C-alpha cells in the first residue's frame, strides 16, 4: 500500500522494538555488536550479509533515520553522517579524484562556497562556480574532468528556486550525477529525485530536526544512475581492493552508492552520526509536514508585509509574485517556497547591524530551519570569508539580512520587525 507523506514521516523505517515492544525507536547507545559466530562475522566484513558491526559504520537508531529520509525523498537508500558539511564530502567522495572538478552554483550557502573553493583543493579536487540560471554557462563549464553538478533546491540565503529539471538534463547529457542540497526545502516541499537528481544531501540540523538541538547530515541515493556507463566512476564500477576485487555497482545495483558510502566512506572518513542525534531527528521529522506548512504560511505573511514597507529596499522571497522565481514554485516546490529569504534594508551595512541588534523575538544565530525565527547578517558572519563580489553573487550582499521565519504568531513577528526597522533606520 502506498502511504501518504504524513504517515511515512512517522512510520517509515520504524517498527516496535523486538526485544521490549518499545513504540518509539530506542537510542542504541553502543559501539559494537556481538556476532553470532566466526562465520557470521566474516560474512558481515565481506559485505556478503547486511548487519551491525561497529557504530562508526552502522547503528540501529541511525538505520531507522536513514530509511525514513530515503523513503520521504523517494530514494533507494541513504547514509547519515555528522553534519551537513560532512554529507557534502560524503556525496563527493566516491565520485572524485585528484584533478577532478564539480560544477557548483554561485548561489550556495557561504560555508559551502568556502568548502568547495578552498578546502576540497587539499584533496586535489576543484569547483567551477556558475550561475545555474544560465544554462548555457553551465553546459560550457563542463569538461572531461567534471564529475558532478551541485546546486540547492531553494538557495541559502536568498531563497532562490533552482530549475532542477534543467540541471538534471544537462547532467544527464554529460553522463554525470546531479547533486541537490534539499536542506531548505525538505522533502515535504520539494522532491529533487522526481526532477532528475541522482543524489540529495541534507543538513538534518535544520528543518528535519526542526528544534536546533543536534547537528547531522544525510546523503540520499536515487538508485537511478548507471555508474558503469563510463569509466568516470571507478569507485563504483572498478574492482575494490579492500574487498577482494568486489565491484560495488555490479554487486549492489541501485544500492551501490549507499553501500560504498558506508563500507568505504564511513569506514575511512569516520564522519558518523551518533544515535542520540538520530533519535532527536526522528522525533523532529514526525511533525515535519505540520511545521513546514506553518513556516511557509508565516514566511508569506511576513514577506508581503516587508515588501510594502518603505524602510525596505527589496525582499527575495520566491513566494512573492514580484519574485523572478515565483513561476518555478508550482513545478519545483508546489507546497510553498520555504521560509528562508533575505531583506535589503535602506541604510546599508550599518542599518542591517542595528536591525539585528534591535530584534527581540528573532534570535541572532548562525542557523536556520528552527521552530524559532532566526536572523543573521550574512556578510559579516556566514559569508564573511567571501569577497563582496562573491557575497552579492550568493545573495548575501552587505545591505541584506537573512531571515529564517519560524512557527510563532505571525503578527508578533511583524511587530518585532517593525520596531527593529524603526531603530535601524532612525
Residue 310's CATH number: 3.90.1150.10
Residue pair 341/316 in contact (Cβ under 8 Å)? The answer is yes
Domain identity same for 95 and 230: yes
Strand extents, DSSP E, 355-424: 363-364, 374-376, 400-404
Domain identity same for 234 and 377: no
Domain identity same for 306 and 354: yes
Instruction: Give the CA-trace dihedral at 96, 100, 102, 106, to 10 degrees.
Output: 130
The pLDDT tens digits for 393-404 are 777 788 999 999
**407 to each of 23, 121, 279, 356, 373, how far by Cα in Å?**
28, 40, 22, 19, 7
The pLDDT tens digits for 12-39 are 999 998 889 999 999 999 999 999 999 9
Identify the pLDDT of residue 396.
77
Q: What is the mean pLDDT of residues 62-83?
A: 98
The pLDDT tens digits for 257-282 are 999 999 999 999 999 999 999 999 99
Cβ neighbors of 374 (< 8 A, separation 6 or more) are 362, 363, 364, 365, 367, 368, 403, 404, 406
Domain identity same for 381 and 262: no
Domain identity same for 278 and 292: no
| Confidence check: pLDDT of 387 > 90 | no
Measured between alpha carbons, how far is 68 from 63 in angstroms, rounded to an integer? 9
The pLDDT tens digits for 47-58 are 999 999 999 999
% of the chain surpassing 70 pLDDT: 99
Mean pLDDT rounded to a whole number for the chain:
95
| Main-chain phi, psi angles of 102, to 5 degrees | -125, 155
Domain identity same for 320 and 212: no
SS3 116: helix
| Confidence check: pLDDT of 380 > 90 | no
**91 to each of 86, 129, 149, 272, 305, how far by Cα in Å?**
9, 18, 11, 14, 39
Domain identity same for 202 and 254: yes
Residue pair 104/115 in contact (Cβ under 8 Å)? The answer is no
pLDDT band at 303 (very low <50, low <70, confident <90, very high): very high
Domain identity same for 212 and 327: no
Domain span holding position 349: 288-425
Identify the pLDDT of residue 395.
73
**55 to each of 19, 369, 408, how far by Cα in Å?**
20, 28, 38
Identify the pLDDT of residue 214.
96
Q: What is the mean pLDDT of residues 319-346?
A: 96
DSSP letter for 132, please: T
**310 to each of 64, 410, 424, how far by Cα in Å?**
49, 20, 13
Identify the pLDDT of residue 398.
85
Measured between alpha carbons, how far is 344 from 315 in angstroms, rounded to an integer? 6
| Count of the separate structural domains present in the chain | 2
Q: Of 262, 284, 306, which residue sits at a domain end?
A: 284
Chain-centre distance of CA 204, in angstroms?
7
| Confidence check: pLDDT of 382 > 80 | no
Domain identity same for 96 and 69: yes
Domain identity same for 250 and 300: no
pLDDT band at 426 (very low <50, low <70, confident <90, very high): confident
Q: Of 284, 317, 345, which residue sits at a domain end?
A: 284
Domain identity same for 189 and 326: no
Q: What is the mean pLDDT of residues 358-369?
A: 95
Cβ neighbors of 256 (< 8 A, separation 6 or more) are 227, 236, 248, 249
The pLDDT tens digits for 152-179 are 999 998 899 999 999 999 999 999 999 9
Amino acid at each position: 500500500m502506498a502511504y501518504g507523506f504524513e504517515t511515512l514521516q512517522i512510520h517509515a523505517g520504524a517498527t516496535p522494538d523486538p526485544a521490549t515492544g518499545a513504540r518509539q525507536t530506542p537510542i542504541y547507545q553502543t559501539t559494537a555488536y556481538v556476532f553470532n559466530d566466526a562465520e557470521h562475522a566474516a560474512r558481515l566484513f565481506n559485505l556478503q550479509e547486511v548487519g551491525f558491526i561497529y557504530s562508526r559504520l552502522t547503528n540501529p537508531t541511525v538505520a531507522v533515520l536513514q530509511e525514513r529520509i530515503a523513503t520521504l525523498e523517494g530514494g533507494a537508500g541513504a547514509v547519515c553522517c555528522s553534519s551537513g558539511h560532512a554529507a557534502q564530502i560524503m556525496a563527493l567522495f566516491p565520485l572524485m579524484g585528484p584533478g577532478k572538478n564539480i560544477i557548483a552554483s554561485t548561489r550556495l550557502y557561504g560555508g559551502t562556497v568556502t568548502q568547495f573553493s578552498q578546502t576540497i583543493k587539499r584533496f586535489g579536487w576543484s569547483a567551477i562556480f556558475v550561475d545555474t540560471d544560465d544554462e548555457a554557462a553551465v553546459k560550457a563549464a563542463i569538461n572531461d574532468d567534471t564529475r558532478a553538478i551541485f546546486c540547492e533546491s531553494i538557495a541559502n540565503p536568498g531563497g532562490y528556486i533552482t530549475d532542477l529539471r534543467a540541471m538534471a538534463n544537462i547532467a544527464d547529457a554529460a553522463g554525470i550525477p546531479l547533486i541537490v542540497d534539499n536542506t531548505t526545502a525538505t522533502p515535504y516541499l520539494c522532491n529533487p529525485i522526481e526532477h532528475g537528481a541522482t543524489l540529495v544531501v541534507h543538513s538534518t540540523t535544520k528543518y528535519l530536526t526542526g528544534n536546533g538541538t543536534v547537528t547531522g547530515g544525510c546523503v540520499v541515493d536515487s538508485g537511478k544512475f548507471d555508474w558503469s556507463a563510463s569509466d568516470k566512476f571507478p569507485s563504483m564500477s572498478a574492482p575494490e581492493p579492500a574487498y577482494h576485487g568486489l565491484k560495488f555497482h555490479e554487486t549492489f545495483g541501485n544500492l551501490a552508492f549507499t553501500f560504498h558510502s558506508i563500507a568505504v566512506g564511513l569506514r575511512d572518513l569516520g564522519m558518523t552520526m551518533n544515535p542520540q542525534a538520530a533519535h532527536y531527528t526522528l522525533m523532529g521529522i514526525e511533525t515535519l509536514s505540520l511545521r513546514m506548512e506553518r513556516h511557509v504560511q508565516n514566511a508569506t505573511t511576513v514577506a508581503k508585509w516587508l515588501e510594502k514597507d518603505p524602510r525596505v529596499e527589496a525582499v527575495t522571497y520566491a513566494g512573492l509574485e514580484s519574485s523572478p522565481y515565483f513561476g518555478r514554485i508550482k513545478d519545483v516546490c508546489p507546497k510553498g517556497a520555504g521560509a528562508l529569504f533575505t531583506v535589503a534594508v535602506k541604510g546599508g551595512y550599518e542599518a542591517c547591524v542595528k536591525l539585528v541588534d534591535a530584534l527581540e523575538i528573532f534570535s541572532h544565530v548562525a542557523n536556520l530551519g528552527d521552530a524559532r525565527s532566526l536572523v543573521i547578517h550574512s556578510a559579516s558572519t556566514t559569508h564573511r570569508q567571501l569577497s563582496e563580489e562573491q557575497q552579492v553573487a550568493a545573495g548575501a550582499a552587505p545591505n541584506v539580512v537573512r531571515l529564517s521565519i519560524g512557527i510563532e504568531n505571525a503578527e508578533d513577528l511583524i511587530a518585532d520587525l517593525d520596531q527593529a526597522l524603526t531603530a535601524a533606520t532612525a
